[in-house]
Amino acid sequence: MRPRIVLADSLRGFALMGLYIVHMVEYFELYWYKPEPGWVHNLIFFLFGGKAYGLFALLFGLSFFIILDNYQRRGQDFRLRFCWRLTVLLVFGYLHSLLYAGDILQLLALCGFLLVLSHHLSTRWLIGFSAFFLIQIPQIILIILYSIVPEWSYPGPRFPGLMMANFEVFAHADLPGLLRHNLMEGQWGKWAFFLETGRLWNIIGLMFVGAVLGRSGFFEKTDFKATRLMIYLMAAVASYLVLWALKGGVINLAPDGMPRWAAGQVFTYYENLALIAAGVFLFTLLFNATFSRRLLMCFAPAGRLTLTFYIAQSLVFVPVYYGFGLAAYSFMGQVPSLLLGVACWLIQMVLAWFWLRNFRYGPLEWVWRKLTFIGFNSVRTN
């Protein structure tokens, strides 16, 4: 059994922080009910919007590889058990989505089955799958079809209408009404968003990247050359700048309506991909520098409790922002929400450190493990 990869735990904790801060300034989606454009929203979404989500997917692919590889080294085929593990995660995600419909766990669990099906393939095949989805080939095919067969197209995306119906419920329903809505109807907007924007393909591609990085041992290396990482970082930043410069001109080549909107989404995911790569390389560069390693390692305990914290954040703050609770979406504002998010994140980091001094797993991580293995290992460290 390989030891835990502290770099990966730290990066996962950082991604969790980014996703949490996005949720806070987004009022757990109710920002979009009555948007308040400003520097806080623009800054947080530039830094973390679409990137923290992507990092989660990448690290999910890495964790998948590590688990299966650990058992493969012992001569055991863990794929069927991992399918059960994904099924348990899917149930967790659905239960979580009854309170917070924007849940990410369902998507990760469903896409994870593709990793199981492809685990026996060579690394070249995985790289090919990564490229296929990250280039957004399915979305590009749709853009072409929308362009050459106008009858198949439509003026614009449909998910905003579905989401606005959700926001009305989030803002005004009582708790039983919210739970009833999210049983089924409240789920459609999220899945329409995943499909229409191309985020589904982006997530699948990044999961395959995580599996490839796991096979290459990228996060386990201790002899990184700072110069090489700096070159990678500069290449990623340069790619982003080129994409940013080309975006407007290329998008305008597509016919007006849904083709042009979808082309804009494709370029947005290209830009996000470049920034995700830049973030990984910068984080790795700083993690391997003596002066900053200790600071970044502070994210590692939270990175080991991502499932617990991710769901706990919704349990605490959905009642703060939604109409059945304090309805803070209507009065808190962006700056106070950001400051509250930062303060509560620091508390979570301290709680994670304290918890892992006494226990081996987080509460929900332990439940997930027990359900996966049907009763292995005590939760106590000793």
For the chain, the first-to-last Cα distance in angstroms comes to: 18
Q: How confident is the model at residue 3 (pLDDT cuts 50, 70, 90)?
A: confident
Give alpha helix (H) positions in the chain.
6-25, 39-47, 51-73, 79-97, 105-118, 123-134, 137-148, 159-172, 175-183, 188-197, 199-216, 226-251, 258-287, 290-297, 300-304, 306-321, 334-358, 363-373
Q: How confident is the model at residue 291 (pLDDT cuts 50, 70, 90)?
A: confident
Q: Is the pLDDT of residue 123 over 60?
A: yes
Q: Which of 1-5, 88-92, 124-128, 180-184 has the lowest mean pLDDT?
A: 1-5
Q: How confident is the model at residue 222 (pLDDT cuts 50, 70, 90)?
A: low
Identify the residue with better confidence: 36 or 322: 322
169: CB partners within 8 A, 6+ apart: 177, 178, 181, 186
Q: Is the pTM of this model over 0.85?
A: yes
Q: Compute the average pLDDT of residues 291-314.
A: 96
Q: Compute the average pLDDT of residues 133-138.
A: 96
CA gap 69, 210 in Å, rounded: 13
Instruction: Yes or no: say if 288 and 224 are a contact pair by the CB < 8 Å rule.
Output: yes
Q: Which of 77-81, 148-152, 315-319 has the lowest mean pLDDT?
A: 148-152
| pLDDT tens-place string over residues 52-63 | 999 999 999 999
Q: Compute the average pLDDT of residues 83-100.
A: 97
Q: How confident is the model at residue 154 (pLDDT cuts 50, 70, 90)?
A: confident
> In the chain, what percentage of residues exceed pLDDT 90?
80
Q: How confident is the model at residue 77 (pLDDT cuts 50, 70, 90)?
A: confident
* For the chain, domain boundaries: 6-373
| pLDDT tens-place string over residues 342-379 | 999 999 999 999 999 999 999 999 999 999 987 444 44
| pLDDT tens-place string over residues 249-266 | 989 888 888 999 999 999
CA gap 275, 46 in Å, rounded: 9
Q: Compute the average pLDDT of residues 30-34.
A: 94
Q: How confident is the model at residue 381 (pLDDT cuts 50, 70, 90)?
A: very low
Q: Is the pLDDT of residue 47 over 70?
A: yes
Nearest to 153 by CA among 277, 26, 263: 263
pLDDT at 274: 97
Q: What rounded mean pLDDT belongs to the chain?
A: 92
Q: How confident is the model at residue 1 (pLDDT cuts 50, 70, 90)?
A: low
